[in-house]
Amino acid sequence: MSIFTSVKKHASDATQRILHLGGDFEHPINADGDTPDYVDPETTPQHHDYEDLPHIDFWGPDRPTTTFIDANSDFITADTEGNEPLPEDFNLYRIYESRAKRMPDEALYTFKYGDEWVTKTASETLLDIREVAKGLMHQGLRKGDGVAFMCHTSYEWDVFDAAVLSVGGVLATIYDTDSAEQIRNIVDNSDSSLLVVETKDMLNKTELAKEDCPTLKTIMCIENGALDELKAYGSTVSDAQLDERIASVKKTDLCSIVYTSGSTAAPKGVEMTHAHYCATATNLPTYMPDLLSNKRNRVLLFLPQAHSFARAINYICVASNLHIYIARGIKTLTADLKIARPHIMIVVPRVLEKVYNAASQKAGSGPKGRVFAASVVAAQKYMKEVSENGKASRFVSMQRNAFDPLVYASIREALGGCAKWIVTGGAPLDPDLMAFFRGAGIPVYEGYGLTETTAPCAFNPLTVPYHQGSVGIPFPGFQLRIGEGNEIQVKGVPVFKGYHKNEEETELSFTEDGWYKTGDLGRLDDDGFLYIIGRKKDLIITAGGKNVSPGPMEDVIKRCPFVSQALVVGDKRSFISALITLDEDALRPWLSKHGLDTGMTMEEAAQNAAVRAEVQKWVDQANEGVSRAESVRKFIILPEEFSQDNGLMTASMKIIRPRVLKRYNTLLNTQMYTKRKPNPDAQNNG
């Protein structure tokens, strides 16, 4: 989807007429033509000669972030101090129990039930958890038994999850969009004895698991009354029996197997203990007390809790004093924002792209469109100066302020009007899009993490100054370092210990001195701020031996007004190319504006010369900062988007590169990388 719709076309006249910028104005998008759009780990130094290290900052109350060169490894390292170690008998049930003791009659969850919004207090939620937990005990669930669970983000998800963990069960998470084969694989790998699904449609996809998984004894469906059934059976289990079981669950006990979304390889089961989630959940409220201790602050959750990111955030919110609203899903997000009016949101970049494009489309291409284009430039220039100088000049600040009532205020209102901290993660966010939101007074902060780190291991708290392109400092309780080949490596209590039934992958994932190797490439500055510069597994090595990191070029191509996705390819090929998809909702207005047939099919649009010419402009811009060897020489526009439905995107909205390459292998071989016909004269003269 377009990230900067209309900006390129209107920036020149808009900035001159509306902003009255001088002739030395340099467009902030891809302005630095001398900066290559790739990273070569073989030639990039591990770190610079940092003269002022060790360096200590206090971004949280009495919690230093220290940046230093480690004496043993000679790697630049950053560390943010966390809480004291948790007691041995601490488990996830204690987080809900503590909330009920602190705020028994205060709202914990608000969610849509039928046509009504319903609120559950902390004590009511704890009672629901206990009743379901008793039912699980009656059903014979023992400590350590596997329970596979398939459900969209909902109150029922939170209650069932907490109930399983309370009695020592091991929850294996299944995305609500997973196929019958994926369900079977997870149930089998986790040795689950119980499989619980949310809907009857999901129940219809459990036949393979029923037939092929020897450990599976029971399948239950929430839509058919599973939770009420468990509560009914639970009436035969006493509080004393339940409390005894809860007390037996230690922080080091396995509590969940979370399956990676598989964007670069087959999904692996990440083993998580109570300590992993609890350390993350209890560290943040003490690090950001002003925001998280205020019971009037609301948070809106809608990302899939089968993913560690959303699940960890839920636990953090329960451990804080926040009032949690649960959205019905991304499709109803606009309506849910009006109800929740959240102060805090956790999003993926795709959501912010949609917000931006909605505002851009609403502005149109006339005078309002030129004003919007100029407002984007003004916001970006403002944040560029803030990043470089700590504050913006008076002139640039005045330009930015002039657009606030015209443009920025309406976008803030579309996000609920109360946002204080919008955290984006799960995938990279275009730095220029971040600059626009921040310059518009929309508090978007980027973070970084993996399933293996219990989600966030780096983040931008409210207290840190703006660093354009940075995913922040180490999360409390984490150490980050830049290891061999510029790889980001992580240590801390929330870092996993191994993959389920996969010792080989586990061993490959850690350094000899015990650091988790993320596979991502990055750099640390001397203040401990982390920047992502690529991904090892995404690195393209051309037939000529050139290393290319595709992400930056993909980001530029996606700024085309109607491009939704771009995948730069070329590994072991003679040149770099790209597969590009179109956003139909953005394409139709563009076609109308340019006097083209708005009724053309997506197949026709993919071949249309005018559409291809517009895409070519953005491909050319992506190529500006690289040599010919790294440039995108050819591209193919596909008539369909990469999606979860066609198996080409993960539930966390990452493109699954190997699957895309496999699906379009014939297309690549016959249309993109066609073999050259032999020259008969050369053969005759040979």
Which CATH number is 393's domain given?
A: 2.30.38.10
**Which residues on neighbouring strands pair with residue 80, listed in sequence order?**
65
Given pLDDT bands bounded at 50, 70 and 90, which one contains residue 261? low
Does residue 648 fall inside a structural domain?
Answer: yes
DSSP sequence for 88-123: TT--HHHHHHHHHHHSTTSEEEEEEETTEEEEEEHH
Taking CA atoms, 270 is separated from 186, 309, 332, 455, 505, in Å, by 12, 13, 31, 12, 11
Least confident of 265-269, 404-408, 557-561, 585-589: 265-269
| pLDDT confidence of residue 679 | 47
26 found inside a domain: no
Mean pLDDT across the chain: 87
Q: How far apart are CA 544 and CA 109, in angstroms?
A: 56
Residue 268 lies in a domain: no
What are the beta bridge partners of residue 57?
65
Give the C-alpha separation, 312 to 279, whole Å: 10
Q: Could you list the residue range(s) of the whole structural domain that residue 614 is in?
A: 540-672
User: Under 8 Å CB-to-CB from 238, ≥6 apart: which residues?
Assistant: none
Q: From CA 523, how far away is CA 177, in angstroms rounded?
A: 35
| pLDDT given for residue 17 in this prediction | 46
Q: Could you give the percent of the chain with pLDDT greater than 70? A: 88
Report residue 675 CA to chain centroid gap: 39
Task: Say what the pLDDT of residue 208 is.
Answer: 93
In a domain, 5, yes or no: no
Question: Do 112 and 63 belong together in one domain?
Answer: no
At residue 26, the pLDDT reads 32
Write down the pLDDT at residue 546. 61
d(CA 325, CA 119): 9
**Residues 314-322, mean pLDDT to the nearest whole number:** 98
Q: What CA–CA distance (Å, rounded) separates 524 from 533?
A: 11
Q: Which residues contact 232 (CB under 8 A, 6 or more apart)?
A: 135
Quick one: DSSP state of residue 331? G
The reported pLDDT for the residue numbered 628 is 72
For residue 189, the surrounding DSSP H or E stretch is helix 180-190
Do 595 and 488 share a domain, yes or no? no
Choose between 205 and 536: higher pLDDT. Answer: 205
pLDDT of amino acid 142: 97
Q: How far apart are alpha carbons 254 and 256 in whole angstroms?
A: 6
Residues 435 and 305 in one domain: no
Least confident range from 83-92, 170-179, 244-253, 286-295: namely 170-179
Helix intervals (H) in 341-450: 349-363, 367-389, 394-402, 409-414, 431-439
Q: How large is the average pLDDT for residues 445-465?
A: 93
Residue 562 lies in a domain: yes
Please report which confidence band the pLDDT of residue 38 belongs to, taking 50, 70 and 90 as the band edges: very low
Q: Are residues 437 and 573 in the same domain?
A: no
Give yes or no: residues 183 and 214 share one domain: yes
- Quick one: 514 and 568 in the same domain? no
- pLDDT tens digit string along 477-488? 999 999 998 999
Are residue 500 and residue 567 in the same domain, yes or no? Answer: no
Asked if 324 contacts 317 with a C-beta cutoff of 8 angstroms, the reply is yes
Of 150-164, 295-309, 343-357, 597-611, the poorest mean pLDDT is in 343-357
End position of a domain, from candidates 502, 535, 568: 535
CA dihedral 80, 82, 85, 91 (to 10 degrees): -120
Instruction: Tell which residue, 450, 517, 449, has the closest CA to residue 487.
Output: 517
Give the C-alpha separation, 322 to 238, whole Å: 31
* 416 and 495 share one domain: yes
SS3 86: coil
Looking at residue 137, which CATH number applies to its domain? Answer: 3.40.50.12780
Residue 325 near residue 169 (C-beta atoms within 8 A): no
Residues 516 and 557 in one domain: no
Residues 44-98 have pLDDT tens digits of 444 455 677 899 999 988 899 999 999 999 999 999 999 999 999 999 999 999 9
* CA–CA dist 648, 646 (Å, integer): 6
Q: Could you give the dihedral angle defined by the CA atoms of residues 95, 100, 101 and 104, in that order, rounded to the nearest 10 degrees?
A: 160
- 651 vs 679: which has the higher pLDDT: 651
Does residue 87 fall inside a structural domain? no
Distance CA 36, CA 32 (A): 9
Q: Are the CB atoms for 654 and 264 separated by under 8 Å?
A: no
- Is 372 a member of any domain? yes
Please check the confidence at residue 156 and state whether its pLDDT lies above 80: yes
More confident residue, 194 or 630: 194
The more confidently predicted of residues 150 and 649 is 150
Q: At which residue do the structure tokens 């992506």 appear? A: 622
Domain with residue 601: its CATH number is 3.30.300.30
Question: For residue 681, is pLDDT > 90?
Answer: no
Asked if 321 and 347 sit in the same domain, the reply is no
**Between these two residues, 215 and 308, which has the higher pLDDT value?**
215
User: Which has more pLDDT, 254 or 686?
Assistant: 254
Kindly state the average pLDDT of the residues 114-133.
97
In this prediction, residue 571 has a pLDDT band, given cuts at 50, 70 and 90, of confident
- Please say if the pLDDT value at position 264 is more than 70: no
Q: Are 284 and 293 in contact (CB under 8 A)?
A: no
Least confident of 223-232, 255-264, 550-559: 255-264
Residue 449 inside a domain? The answer is yes
Q: Strand (E) positions, 72-226?
A: 76-80, 107-113, 116-121, 146-150, 170-174, 192-197, 218-221
pLDDT at 682: 40
How many CB atoms are closer than 10 A to CB 225? 12
Last residue of a domain, one of 513, 535, 557: 535
Q: Is the pLDDT of residue 440 over 70?
A: yes
Domain count, the chain: 3
pLDDT digits (tens, 9 = 90+) for 199-245: 999 999 999 999 999 999 999 999 999 999 999 999 999 999 999 99
Whether residue 169 sits in one domain with residue 75: no
* Distance of alpha carbon 586 from alpha carbon 564, whole angstroms: 9
Residue 407 parent element (H or E): none
| More confident of the two residues 638 and 556 | 638
* pLDDT at residue 21 in the model: 37
Going by pLDDT thresholds of 50, 70 and 90, the confidence category of residue 34 is very low
Q: Note whether 519 and 535 are within 8 A (CB).
A: yes
Judge if 227 and 368 occupy the same domain.
no
Lowest mean pLDDT among 180-194, 348-362, 544-558: 544-558
Q: Which of 166-175, 503-512, 538-547, 640-649 has the lowest mean pLDDT?
A: 538-547
Q: Which of 297, 271, 268, 272 is nearest to 285 (CA)?
A: 297
> Which residue(s) pair with 118 in the sheet?
111
- 419-422: which pairs have CB atoms within 8 A and are 24 or more residues apart? 419/342, 419/343, 419/344, 419/345, 419/443, 420/291, 420/297, 420/343, 420/344, 420/462, 421/291, 421/343, 421/344, 421/345, 421/445, 421/462, 422/344, 422/345, 422/346, 422/347, 422/352
